[in-house]
Structure 1
Amino acid sequence: MAVSGPRSTLKVASVARGDALVVRMQGDLDAVTAHLLREELRQVWESSRTSVLVIDVAEVMFCDSRGLSELISALQRGQAANVRLILTGVQGVLRRVLTITGLRNVFEQHPTVEEALAGASDAGPRQPRGPEMGGLYEIAGDR
């Protein structure tokens, strides 16, 4: 007997804001929908010359390991391309997931898109927390 429930949904849209690109998500970021974020970001990486990528997750209601994996991949790709990735609106389930996994301090975060854009224009590229620190794994190990 097959059991089924409501199907996950996610809306993803992006808009240029000056030198930054803002990607807004609404719904569940999970195994069923993670490909939508991956596809949106693929287009960003292929066509954009942005130095700042803001991912607004204020309306993300659920995030599982697959969704988290997509965010980590975006962070790693951004680091490799010298693109500053900022999460905004982190709350609820996603905040708990980032805290439990030890990734809460790995992602740069701001409460709102406007604050992220203002901070990005003031500060330039984010530097790792120490002269010897580099990518995602080194920063995560510095907890």
Structure 2
Amino acid sequence: MKVASAVHGAAVVVRVEGDLDAGTVHLLHGELDRVWESPGTSVLVIDVAELEFCDSRGLSELISALQRGQAMNVRLILSGVQGVLRRVLTITGLRNVFEQHPSVAEALRLAADAGPRHSRSGGDPGSGSDPGSGSDPGGLYETAGDR
């Protein structure tokens, strides 16, 4: 697996290529730790267009990144979600939890237009602010009706 990051103003793009699993998740975790330590980051785009596989450990790392982003007021966006990761997010009911855009360019453009905090695509930008609330559409789990 390869992980690399680049700074685009107040946004950081982390590109993930290959397999994100128990044997490689530490690479993404380490890169994300560096992002969280960087002052001034308001948007984190994780580009998964070249991701070929994602197991439960990889998914757990993405969920942790989302939660940490919410706690730090950093908008997390996944770009290029397809294949195995799209299926994993759908099966687990997390597909609508992550803000997603088809490309890094679109994610950066929309993030710049909307500012640091914005509900996921198709959601209500004025949704509640309690990330742990079961009624918050920006929370961790979607309801069965959202599938």
1:19 to 7, 10, 17: 10
Return the alpha-carbon distance in structure 2 between the equivalents of residues 115 and 132 of structure 1.
Answer: 25
Structure 1: which 5+ residue stretches go unaligned? Answer: 1-9
With over 3 angstroms needed to count, the CA separation of the structure-2 counterparts of 1:137 and 1:30, relative to structure 1, is farther
**Whose Rg is larger?**
1
Return the alpha-carbon distance in structure 1 between the equivalents of residues 84 and 104 of structure 2.
Answer: 19
**Structure 1 residues 19-38: aligned runs within 5 Å:** 19-38=10-29
Asked if the contact 2:93–2:142 (Cα under 8 Å) also holds between the matched residues in 1, the reply is: no
Asked if the contact 1:15–1:22 (Cα under 8 Å) also holds between the matched residues in 2, the reply is: yes
Q: What letter corresponds to residue 105 of structure 1 in structure 2?
A: N
TM-superposed CA distance for 1:58, in Å, is 0.2
Return the alpha-carbon distance in structure 2 between the equivalents of residues 86 and 141 of structure 1.
Answer: 17
Return the alpha-carbon distance in structure 2 between the equivalents of residues 69 and 137 of structure 1.
Answer: 20
If the length of structure 1 is used for normalisation, what is the TM-score? 0.87
Counterpart in the other structure of 2:131: 135
Return the alpha-carbon distance in structure 2 between the equivalents of residues 136 and 85 of structure 1.
Answer: 17
TM-superposed CA distance for 1:41, in Å, is 0.4
With over 3 angstroms needed to count, the CA separation of the structure-2 counterparts of 1:136 and 1:84, relative to structure 1, is farther
Say whether 1:57 aligns with 2:56: no
Structure 1 stretches of 4+ with a deviation exceeding 2 A read 127-134, 136-139
User: Aligned-pair RMSD on alpha carbons?
Assistant: 1.7
Structure 2: which 5+ residue stretches go unaligned? Answer: none
Return the alpha-carbon distance in structure 2 between the equivalents of residues 136 and 76 of structure 1.
Answer: 10
Return the alpha-carbon distance in structure 1 between the equivalents of residues 61 and 19 of structure 2.
Answer: 13
Pairs aligned (count)? 134
Q: Identical aligned pairs, as a percentage?
A: 68
TM-superposed CA distance for 1:132, in Å, is 3.7
Counterpart in the other structure of 2:101: 110
